[in-house]
Amino acid sequence: MRFKYAIVRRGLREARRLVEICTKPGELEALWATVGEHVVQGERYDGAGLVARNVGDPQRPVIMITCPPPERPNEAYFLCVLPTTARLDNDGSLFVPDPTGPLELRVFGMERSMLPDGGLIGFVVEWTQVFRHNYDAPENPSPAAFWKAILEVVGGKRSSIHSQAMSKTISDVS
């Protein structure tokens, strides 16, 4: 979970640095290791499965991050960052206009959540400087379903079912 919040913080406050971390070989793994230094040895994970891919371009990044499989509630399956200027085209695809100012990112995640019956579900969230917005579960915990949920949020077809104020936790993570 600390890694997730390290990504969120950088996405919201250091957008260009996050793009570097996600696109330069070894940088994402180095961040994982740095964040892991603050985790008790027996609870530390090796980062197997951690992958970031920019499906946009360097000036208009759309970065999908696959995290190691979550084992606890609120750990992330996936994270995604995209410019705040992104919108949906008429055909339903994501359009990111040419940049005109500093890069600002929206940060999304799909977190592991528990159902009352003990089953597992992925929950889509978006973090802003001030709030965490919960958007309910996608169709399934796949990257494609997560991407579809993000497009629905960006296109105004999926509304937040709950929002809560961000705690200072986000600023306390490496």
User: Dihedral angle at the C-alpha atoms of 42, 33, 123, 129, nearest 10 degrees?
Assistant: 130
User: Looking at residue 58, what is its pLDDT?
Assistant: 85
pLDDT at 74: 85
130 burial (CB, 10 Å; 0-12 / 13-18 / 19+) is exposed
Instruction: Quote the distance between the C-alpha of residue 163 and its chain's center.
Output: 16
Q: What is the pTM of this model?
A: 0.91
pLDDT given at position 108: 98
- The residue ranges of the chain whose pLDDT is under 70 are 114-120, 168-174
Look at residue 115 in the predicted model and tell me its pLDDT: 65
73-to-106, 110, 114, 127 alpha-carbon distances in Å: 22, 11, 7, 17
| Number of domains comprising the chain | 1
Domain region containing 102: 2-172
- Per-residue pLDDT at 168: 52
Q: What whole-number distance in Å separates Cα of residue 33 and Cα of residue 45?
A: 9
- DSSP H or E stretch at residue 31: helix 27-36
| pLDDT for res 116 | 65
